[in-house]
Structure 1
Amino acid sequence: MKEPSIEVGLVLDAEGTTVKLEGDFVDAEGKVIGAGEHRVLPAGETIRYGGTQTKKLCWSPTRLDNCRFSLETTIGVQFHWQQQEVQTFAGAIRFVAAGNRLTVINLVPLETYLTSVICSEMSATSPADLVKAHSVVSRSWLLAQCAARMCGNKDTNVPAPEGEELIRWYDREGHVSFDVCADDHCQRYHGTGRIRTGTAFDAIGVTRGQVLSYDGEVCDARYAKACGGVTEDFRTAWSDEEVPYLVPFVDGPDPAMPDPPITGEMAFRQFLAARPDAYCNCRDDAILDEVLTSFDRQTDDFFRWQVRLGADAVTALVQSKLGLDLGRVIALQPVERGLSGRLVRLRIVGERGSRIIGKELEIRRALSPSHLYSSAFAVDCEGPVERPDVFVLNGAGWGHGVGLCQIGAAVMAARGIGYQEILRHYYPGTTLERVYE
């Protein structure tokens, strides 16, 4: 197997974009597209730029090592850190127009893409063994997604039948024209600007071509920012299928930590209050400064957190996010928890009706203008019992909690634990192998 080329969606469903080329590029006919700014616009199903109109447009660098392009992108879409950034990328650039909207796609060698991913998901100054472990994980996940796309296996935003329950999960949603997007929905890919150290290049180079495999197949190696002390089962976040290496376990050396399942309300509340000595229960500013990106570093309550929501705010969120008019919300009732305590199903009770929603991302999305940190939360109320004024969510962790805990792995690496041991810890029963040189 040769190193693959990856197609990454950079800008999606846009009215147009301005691309700045650094160095010469050529189109499919060999015409040179010179350095400088170029405005590209959709025109129905065609693309307009520089006085020309075409159905297909792709610009390739004349030299991969020193030709770059820059454009404005949105990062952290719908999350609490959403912002606009001008980012710079290597590789070729392809434009696709549909319905008078524009999609911009980057065609790039996998290892070049991966170097940016690792320095976008975590800081380029992270310990070498974290970078190595994350490289293997991100490479494995990517190749698994590409294989699924080749097979036409698209498992995304699948709602349950209409009725009392509204169950959805989100996986590779909308990715028809490319392999993966450049944001948190898939993996962060923020261009070459975040690659600031030779250490990252060297550490990624050590693992070139390495993936995790299980039963002869490349692993769908999921990961999240902070598990909160116990990792979660694949089925809590996505489809109801067993993935043997994505299972819940205690993520830390504290012998007093409770083993999963933590599915009962009393057990979960005790777990929340205990603040166990998990790997991601890190309050060492030196480690966090070293491993987190600047915008992630702004979040410091990732292990245990609290959100207070007025009843009117919850009512408005339920209507705007879910399209449900249940009347004033009077109760949020846990129905089912995953093995780490994350909510899989939550009943929202209003004065005019109720609805059960899930899975974890839908719950996080429904109760926040952006997203809650996780669905591992307990609900308390303030005000009259029958008609509360405020809902208080006390929670744990940041993200879905499945697979590698990024902050936990960072702490392990900072303590001198090697990348192979980190991988064995988070993906039990898997094998490390090299699929290309």
Structure 2
Amino acid sequence: MKKIQFLFICIFCFATAFAQQETTHKKQALGISFFLNDFKTAANIRTNGLVSVLKDKSFFKPSIMNPGIAVDYFSGISKHVDFIATLGGSFLDYPIDNVPAFNANNFLLETTANLNLKLLTDKYWVVPFIDLGVGASNYQKYFSAFTPVGIGLQVNFLDEAYLILNSQYRIPVTENASYHFYHSITIAGNIASNKVIVPKAVEVPVVVDRDGDGIVDSLDACPDQAGTTALQGCPDKDGDGIADKDDKCPDVAGTAKYNGCPIPDTDKDGINDEEDKCPTVAGVARYQGCPVPDKDNDGVNDEEDKCPNEAGPASNFGCPVIDVVVVEKVNKAAKNIFFATGSSKLLAKSYKSLKDVAQILKDNPSYKIDVDGYTDITGSADKNQTLSENRANSVKQYLIANGVDESRITATGHGINDPIADNKTAAGRSKNRRVEMKLRNY
């Protein structure tokens, strides 16, 4: 690691010294990159050797790579050296030595700071380069550092934008990092302006025009204040077409009807009184200045109220609160649902509880129910996900068979997620293997 750091410091010092001898370099620019991370080819090379990988024609296979996107900042240090900072992210299963496989795609955040050592200057259309830098990444709770080295090609477009193709080999510096290739294509553009400011010509004042507005004093209604021809030489600071001397609101654009002042907005809702059908009560434009209606007068407007014709609290989306006794009955029934081991088949001792829930739903046509299945962590996550979905659907099908319309039931499997007890104990795992049911009336 010390050798890598020393090499980077030497290159940076060389680039800085070289920059002092150059007078032109790349302007500041921003870019966006689309990239592919390749961990499998890097592992294959380290295991079997580069010759074997090339012989098998398995060096560049997009199908085993993970796509991502990044933003880039460019700044020239000299004609032949550019500084590049990159921040990118992708979703993948990141391999970490001595850490169990995650078996899931999670977010990988990577950032690098590189020096591009260009073989030609930016005056050429195509510029090859090599790059070297330092980088860091975060995956789940693991932080790591690495050193990227690579080669690339820059294609310039009219000194304003360019396309960059780059391949890097990222070498771990800390134990949580993994060897991998990084292939990217970047589109970037300058953020510094190249416009030349042309000074305005100075107008020669006329002797008989004291305020210098181009209107002779004999025709100027405001000879000591610069103005416009349309207003007979008088100024109009707010640009509303009413001269300041006649404008009661000279700093705010208005209309002649209100003597140069804006149309009033009594309720301050941003809709002027001439267009506001409720000028004294704040509202919204789609209701022509009136408040959003609330037909059931429960304090939850109809656009947010899931039961606009029945009063209910905002905490229940404007719907009436279900009786706590009924909720407790459903919760108790959920604790008496049983399945055959490792199966989604309902046991007969579950029927009575589920029939009680079906009767509650039939007695209350406005009620709906959410059925959520959960498992412990025994077995694979995929199998547990499928089992939890099948168990939730078994409960749903039983309720349908007992007269509840399918549209009123939502069944969802959550697998090993959201445990309510410790999965390290048999008692905890037993509690985590469960089906929950929640009533709602919206």
Whether the TM-score (by the shorter chain) exceeds 0.5 is: no
Which protein has the larger Cα radius of gyration, Structure 1 or Structure 2?
2
Question: Could you say which TM-score interval applies, normalised by the shorter chain?
Answer: under 0.3
Calculate the TM-score normalised by the size of structure 1.
0.18
